[in-house]
Structure formats: structure tokens, C-alpha cells
Chains A and B, each alone.
Chain A
Amino acid sequence: MGIKSSTPYGKDYGGCGLVGIIDRSGRSVSGDMIVSSLTSMKDRGNGLGSGYAVYGAYPDLKNSFGMHIMYNDISARGPVEELIKTKLKLVLAEPVPVKKIHAIPDPPQFWRYFVDPPATIDKTDEDGIDDLIVSVVMDINERIDNAYVVSSGKNLAVFKGVGHPDAIAEFFRMQDYSGYLLLGHTRFPTNTPGWWGGAHPFTILDWSIVHNGEISSYGTNKRYVEMFGYKCTLLTDTEVVAYLLDLLIRKKGLSLTAAASVLAPPFWKDIQEMEPLKKDYYTALRMCYANASLNGPFAILMGFDNGILGLNDRIKLRPLIVGRKGDIVAIASEESAIREVIAEPDDVWAPKAGEPIIVTLKEDAKH
């Protein structure tokens, strides 16, 4: 499947487009596959932001955290590397390989750092190690001018920037990557700037988010996650969803389905009709995590180390469709994007509003 050029037909496109592809057996999906799927939705996105997440990108360094960092000005490299070396153990630092192309004029510079926790920290304290990584990410984003962390997970590569999805893929050499789970996004910015840091996916640790819609509750959600030390610095509503998931699932210990019910809670009128146990459960979720619920239209895909979660807002104001063939599952804005790379799917279905679609690796393929 070749990578097709972005629309030469003028500016009559609209809406974000997203796609996620996972091979549940853990086998590698090629970078070209997600690019073909995403670029097939020619009428989505407008070249002001595209990006990809590749889970399984760095098998040789899979036990280290991989920090992709964007430098708007390379003078920020010194302070960033000093901070990393102070707080963490640097295993490898290198520029992210890119191909200079006309379609991407004047790009920022990208470096990747593979880091381990310092010797002083208890290796069994996974939560403490994750907290440390999160704090380093927040420090860089908040305190070091012209430096932004693009991704910080293990065995995870995230590439994003301003450009059409085919151009961004060519620039970051997506054909050189493969992984068991890939996400792609083409952006049509509506109410926040179309800049390199505003392209999707948004990430923290192993969580990555691509989103079509608007998070109208951004202010409430942002203030809520700030209470727990997360800093929203990337000027785009979607960023907060990544932090909400890290907070709800990793810190608060909610299951994926519970977290999905926090983001898109059932309506009170429907809770009233539930059997007593369920009623108490959803009432408690809504009461405890009111500030974490998302208002506004959304279709989101969330990647994590063992799978993918797809979720719509509870009245389904954005498209989302699922296709499956054997162990391969794709979730996308349009069925055509699934069929572009899966010729004869065994199943195709549209998730209900607010109903999470969770697809995980098979037991023997888990990481």
C-alpha cells in the first residue's frame, strides 16, 4: 500500500480524523499501514497538525523510558539535558532521524533520550518512578523555554507536527517504524493554535491520546489535574485528557471501564433506572470525579502499553467505528479508513455513545 499525497483539491476539508490499529497477537503493524489508513481520509484535517504513536517502537531499549523532546530553539537542549542528567540516568541521547522535505519548512529539532530511574530510587517502586518521570516532563514543559516533551513512555515513539499526515510521516520516516499498536491523527484545529506542540497524540508515560472534538470542560478539568501536579502547557484541550487518564487509572487505581465512565458518565436519568448496586456505583463515580468528566463532543482513542480504548461522548457527537479481522482491530473516524488497510474485515460495528471499546493484547502477547 503506497502512501498517498495529501489533498490537491483545495481547502474544502473539515473535521479531525483519527485511527488506531492493534494486533492483539503482539505482531508488528508497519508504520506505512497507519499512514495509509489515516491519509485515506482526505477530507479530514487541514495540514495544521498530524501525528502518530508507535507502541513497540524501541524493542532494544524497551525497559528504558523514551523521552522525545521538541526544541523550538536548540539552545534549550543544554538546560533539558542538565535536568535529565540531574534527575535520571541517561542511557542514550540522539537526534530523532528526520528527512528534510519541502512540505515541512522550518521544523523544530527533535531529540530522543532513553532514561532509567536513578540508582537512588527503589527499583520496585514503579509508581514512584512513574511520578518522577511525570515531574521531569512537567518541569521541562513548564520551566524550560522552547522545549516540549512529545512522549515519555517505554517502548513508545510519538511523532507529530504541523503538516499533512503524509508529510509528517515522511518527515519522521514512519516507514522505518513498526509496533503492535499504532495511533494516527490528522487535525483540523478549531479553537486553539495549530502549532507543533498542539498536534496529536498527547501523551504522558505510556498513555497517548488522539481526539476529534472539543473539550468544553477544559477549564474545570485543567484546574482539577493541576491539584495533582499536572501542568497543562500545550495550549490545546486534548492535553488534559492524557493527564486525566494517568490520574484516574495509575494514581487513583480505576479500571479502564471505570475511567471511561468518569470521562463520559451515564446521565442521571439513566442512573435512576439502574439496579441498586449499579446505581450506587455510578452515583459514587459521578460524585467523586465530577471535575474529571468531559463535556463537549468527542471521539477519542487512548493508547496504553497493553492496548487501546476508544470512547465517544455520551450523545455521540463525533464519528467512531470499529473493524476487526482476526487479531487485528482498527478503530477510526470512518469505515473507509479501516477498509483501506483491512480489505475484508470479519466485523464492523459502531460503538454506542459513551460505551468504551477496549481492545487489549492477548495474554501471551502482553508486555
Chain B
Amino acid sequence: MGDRIKIDAQDLHYKDLNQKIHDALGSGGKDIELSHVNGQRYIADGLKNDIRMTINGVPGNDLGIFMNGPVITVNNNAQDAVGNTMNGGKIVVRGMAGDVCGYGMRGGKLFVLKDVGYRVGIHMKGYKMLNPIIVIGGNAGDFLAEYMAGGVIVLLRLFGRQNGDSTTGDYLGAGMHGGTVYIRGGADRKKIGKGVDVAELTDADHGLLKGIIREYADDLGLDADKILDGRFEKLVPLSTRPYAKLYTY
């Protein structure tokens, strides 16, 4: 892995910070640690390198946008739009994350320890070998998996929300037409969007879920068996082409 390159992000604008990251990669760096990060946007924007990055502090919006390769660990909360249109690699957030995380995500993994905000995983998609995965340890705001077209979202609800109720959010999977959402503790039928159905897990689902949860628990220091012990339901789209007849008939 080589030496760890440390970058102090204190008071740096995101452009200067990203330049320092590029400089570090240019000098052969494979392991980068950022400290005093606070709100800088677009960190690791579009990076294709096979590297590790550790972030101390709260990264700004669009962390890992268009990223395709790096493995990023955030030792704190993250803000909105983490993993926006991400193509590959992994982002592990050891706190909570904001709205629209994993927007249009097409590959890679996003693991969040605690709650996420609204519209997480919307327009997420998969194609052949690309199968994006989002795992949320806490609860989700409304519109989780809205317009989802592929990939996997796992909602664990291991912790209560700050303000009480443990939730999947409303309009869950609204407009979904591909991919799968696994929900620990089951889905509230009143909170499900149109066009989705709730189903029991098959053996294949259990196999897939076990692999994902083991990796997630490993990354975040949780007990995988305890998590897998819960009852899961899955959300699947009723149709892969809900609007097939809209323009043709």
C-alpha cells in the first residue's frame, strides 16, 4: 500500500483540496488521509485510481461524485449527495449522511452507519456487471429508491431515529422499475410507492444479502449475525416497463 500521505484541509477551498489530492496521486500515493475537512465539496470527484482515502471531518456535498475506484472512509457524518452518479469503488460513512445520496449511482458501494436523508438511491441503476449497493444502518427519509432501475439497497434500521420512530420513509420505491430493496423489520404497506410489491426473500436473496451484510459489518465493526437475524422483506417492481404503453398506444 505504501506510505500514507496526509493532507491538512483546514480552510482550503475544494478546488485547492482536490488539487492536493491529484498531486498526491501524481506522486504515486495510494493511501491518503485528509484532516480538518469541513464542508469541501466534490472530494475525490471523478477519481479512477485504485486508492484508499480516509476523511477526518465532515466532507461537503457530492463526496465521490462520478468516482470509479477509490475506497473512501469518512470518520464522521457526511452531507448531501454522497456518491452522486458514482461508477465504482466504495464509500463508508461512519456517521449519518444527508439527502440524495447515491443519486443515479451505477456501480460501487455506499455504506452508511446511521440515518440517511431524503431521496437516497433515486435513479440508481445497474447494467450487466455493474450492480451498485447502498446499505443504510439507520433509517431513511422519504423517497428512498424512487425511480430505482437497478442495484441493491439495504435498509437496516439498527438505531432509532433521533426523534423517535424508526422509519423507512414515505413513498418508498415510488416509480421503481428495477433492482431490489431489502428492508430489515419489514415494510409498512402504507408507505410504499405505486408500482412496487413486497415479497419474501428467496434463497438467492438470502445468499446475496449475507455477503453484503458481512462486508458492511466488517467495515463498520458491527455484528453481522445479529443483523442477519432480523426479519427481512424485499421490495420489487411490479413491472420493468411501467410506461411501456404510454407512447406506443
Tell me whether A339 and B98 are in contact in the complex, defined as CB-CB below 8 angstroms, given that A9-B13, A334-B79, A353-B141 are known contacts.
no
A81 in the interface (beta carbon within 8 A) = no
**Whole-angstrom distance between the Cβ of B190 and the nearest chain A Cβ:** 7
Residue of A whose beta carbon sits closest to that of B62: A43
Residues 77-92 of B at the A interface (beta carbon under 8 Å): 77, 79-80
In the complex the two chains form, is B39's CB within 8 Å of A336's CB?
Answer: yes
B237 in the interface (beta carbon within 8 A) = no
Contact with B along A21-41 (1 / 0, CB 8 A): 000000000000000000011
One of B38, B96, B99, B162 near A339 (C-beta < 8 A): B38
Contact with B along A340-367 (1 / 0, CB 8 A): 1000000111101101000000000000
Which B residues touch A315, using CB under 8 A?
A: 118, 142-143
In the complex the two chains form, is B98's CB within 8 Å of A42's CB?
Answer: no
Central interface residue in A9, A335, A339, by most chain B CB within 10 Å: A335
A106 in the interface (beta carbon within 8 A) = no
Which B residues touch A353, using CB under 8 A?
A: 118, 141-142
A18 in the interface (beta carbon within 8 A) = no
One of A7, A316, A337 near B39 (C-beta < 8 A): A337
In the complex the two chains form, is B80's CB within 8 Å of A319's CB?
Answer: yes
Which B residues touch A125, using CB under 8 A?
A: none
Which B residues touch A69, using CB under 8 A?
A: none
Tell me whether A336 and B99 are in contact in the complex, defined as CB-CB below 8 angstroms, given that A7-B13, A315-B142 are known contacts.
no
Tell me whether A334 and B39 are in contact in the complex, defined as CB-CB below 8 angstroms, given that A350-B117, A352-B163 are known contacts.
yes
Q: Is the interface of A mostly helix, strand, loop or mixed?
A: loop
Residue of B whose beta carbon sits closest to that of A273: B190
Cα distance A7–B14 in the bound complex, in angstroms: 11
A331 in the interface (beta carbon within 8 A) = no
Residues 85-123 of B at the A interface (beta carbon under 8 Å): 96, 98-99, 115, 117-118
Which A residues touch B79, using CB under 8 A?
A: 319, 334-336
In the complex the two chains form, is B13's CB within 8 Å of A340's CB?
Answer: no
Tell me whether A42 and B13 are in contact in the complex, defined as CB-CB below 8 angstroms, given that A336-B60, A339-B38 are known contacts.
yes
In the complex the two chains form, is A348's CB within 8 Å of B38's CB?
Answer: no
In the complex the two chains form, is B96's CB within 8 Å of A350's CB?
Answer: yes
Tell me whether A316 and B99 are in contact in the complex, defined as CB-CB below 8 angstroms, given that A4-B11, A336-B58 are known contacts.
yes
Cα distance A337–B96 in the bound complex, in angstroms: 16
In the complex the two chains form, is A352's CB within 8 Å of B11's CB?
Answer: no
**Whole-angstrom distance between the Cβ of A324 and the nearest chain B Cβ:** 11
**Whole-angstrom distance between the Cβ of B58 and the nearest chain A Cβ:** 5
In the complex the two chains form, is A40's CB within 8 Å of B142's CB?
Answer: no
In the complex the two chains form, is B163's CB within 8 Å of A349's CB?
Answer: yes
Which B residues touch A334, using CB under 8 A?
A: 39, 60-61, 79
Tell me whether A319 and B98 are in contact in the complex, defined as CB-CB below 8 angstroms, given that A40-B39, A273-B190 are known contacts.
yes
Residues 130-165 of B at the A interface (beta carbon under 8 Å): 141-143, 162-163
In the complex the two chains form, is A335's CB within 8 Å of B99's CB?
Answer: no
Tell me whether A349 and B118 are in contact in the complex, defined as CB-CB below 8 angstroms, given that A42-B13, A334-B79 are known contacts.
no
Residue of B whose beta carbon sits closest to that of A350: B117
Which B residues touch A335, using CB under 8 A?
A: 39, 58, 77, 79, 98
**Whole-angstrom distance between the Cβ of A15 and the nearest chain B Cβ:** 9
B241 in the interface (beta carbon within 8 A) = no
In the complex the two chains form, is B38's CB within 8 Å of A316's CB?
Answer: no
**Whole-angstrom distance between the Cβ of A342 and the nearest chain B Cβ:** 11
Contact with A along B35-79 (1 / 0, CB 8 A): 000110100000000000000011011000000000000000101
Query: Which residues of B pack against A, CB within 8 Å?
Result: 11, 13-15, 38-39, 41, 57-58, 60-61, 77, 79-80, 96, 98-99, 115, 117-118, 141-143, 162-163, 190
